[in-house]
Amino acid sequence: IPQLLIDTDPGVDDALAIMMAHAHADIAALSVAAGNVGLGHTVRNARTLRDLLGATFPVFAGCATPLVRAPDEDAAFVHGMDGLGDVGFPEPKAAAEGEVAALALLRLTRERPGELTLVALAPLTNLALALRLDPTLPQRVKRLVVMGGAVTGHGNTGRIPAEFNIGFDPEAAHVVFEAFSRFDLVDWEATLRHGFDDAEFDAWLATGDQRAAFFGKVFRTARDYNAKHDRSGVVAADALAMAVAIDPSIVTRSEIRAVAVELDGRLTRGATVVDWANRLGRPAQARIVLEVDQARFAAMVRKALGVA
């Protein structure tokens, strides 16, 4: 059973991903980034999720800002002002650890070399900091799975080809993409191909256990947003990436390509540029996940929600 180090900015889809991790794997720790909402909220939400799951994994707070430039948007309009649907959960029980996330990532991978799968569900600030402090980090992780990017330019931010996690901290993504000679990339476009039907998903929420009830609540703001924008279906980017982290054999179609991050473009900063035709002859480091087994993905989500 996989041992996961999860870097996250909860976040509604992060919440579902963490529930999946708890149901199907061991969570070694959550390291928390700013992204969907500010760091104060994302750390608190990570602690709230730990209480919901009755778990004891440590939660480490990371960096409150991107490496270089202040972000020009967050994602509170989808996830709620507090990042978890503005439900008003009580103060979580235990505090976050005192150690900062980047140092915890380095320490945990030193204590358990080759054992931990790193799952990146947030802007890559914490991972980039850790890599700058210790460039040997990639040698000590079993795998890296990144939720990020829009491989043919259909992003989900105000800068059209940029996906949120990469667009929020492009320099950090650049550091990570240069440092790892192989990682799995689950992008926004794959997410859109792997949505769930609204009625099907509602039936899971209605028949699952307390985790389904929790998710039903936090999911409301995202639902309202979708309804307002005439979008149907449930898409959960981080849940898809988590499925790939838990069981890589779920991937049915992928391509290994060199991927770089645009750092300067006036309209394109934060875009992921894929060398599809290998014109630059650079080492291809990203296994781009194009398709997974949807039935197995659905089964993983159902179990995480406690659907019988």
163 binds, among ligand BDR, Ca ion, none (CB under 5 to 8 A by kind): ligand BDR
One of 7, 14, 169, 189 touching ligand BDR (CB under 6 A): 14
Query: Is 164 near ligand BDR (CB under 6 A)?
Result: yes
Q: CA 263 → CA 120, 148, 166, 167, distances in Å? A: 20, 15, 10, 9
Structure tokens at 258: 């060199």
Length of the chain: 308
Q: CA 208 → CA 150, 277, 306, distances in Å? A: 32, 45, 5
Strand partners, 4: 27, 117
DSSP characters for 41-66?
HHHHHHHHHHHHTT----EEE--SS-
User: How big is the site for ligand BDR, counted in residues (CB under 6 A)?
Assistant: 14
Sign of torsion over alpha carbons 175, 177, 179, 183: positive
236 binds, among Ca ion, ligand BDR, none (CB under 5 to 8 A by kind): none
- Nearest distance from residue 213's CB to ligand BDR, in Å? 21
Query: Is 188 near ligand BDR (CB under 6 A)?
Result: yes
Cβ-contact 8, 30 below 8 angstroms? yes
Cβ-contact 188, 288 below 8 angstroms? no
Query: Is 121 near ligand BDR (CB under 6 A)?
Result: yes
Structure tokens at 44: 């608190």
Query: Is 187 near ligand BDR (CB under 6 A)?
Result: no
One of 147, 151, 175, 222 touching ligand BDR (CB under 6 A): 147
Q: Which span (11-19, 48-56, 223-231, 293-301) binds ligand BDR, by CB under 6 A?
A: 11-19
Helix axes 294-304, 237-246, angle to 10 degrees: 100
Query: Is 184 near ligand BDR (CB under 6 A)?
Result: no
Sheet holding 143-147, edge to edge: 59-61, 26-32, 3-8, 116-120, 143-147, 183-186, 286-292, 251-257
Structure tokens at 251: 């991937």
> Which residue number, 235 or 258, has a Cβ lying nearer to Ca ion?
235
Query: Is 189 near ligand BDR (CB under 6 A)?
Result: no
Distance CA 131, CA 150 (A): 23
- Nearest distance from residue 130's CB to ligand BDR, in Å? 19
254 binds, among ligand BDR, Ca ion, none (CB under 5 to 8 A by kind): none
> Which residue number, 140 or 148, has a Cβ lying nearer to ligand BDR?
148
One of 31, 36, 42, 126 touching ligand BDR (CB under 6 A): 36
Q: Which span (46-54, 65-73, 98-106, 163-171) binds ligand BDR, by CB under 6 A?
A: 163-171
- Nearest distance from residue 81's CB to ligand BDR, in Å? 14
- Nearest distance from residue 163's CB to Ca ion, in Å? 11
**Residue 42: how many CA atoms within 13 Å on its side-chain side?**
31
- Nearest distance from residue 165's CB to ligand BDR, in Å? 5
Residues 223-282 that bind ligand BDR (CB under 6 A): 237-238
Distance CA 179, CA 36 (A): 25
Residues within the interface to Ca ion (CB under 5 A): 9, 11, 14, 121-122, 238
Query: Is 7 near ligand BDR (CB under 6 A)?
Result: no
Binding site for ligand BDR (CB under 6 A): 11, 13-14, 36, 75, 121, 147, 156, 163-165, 188, 237-238
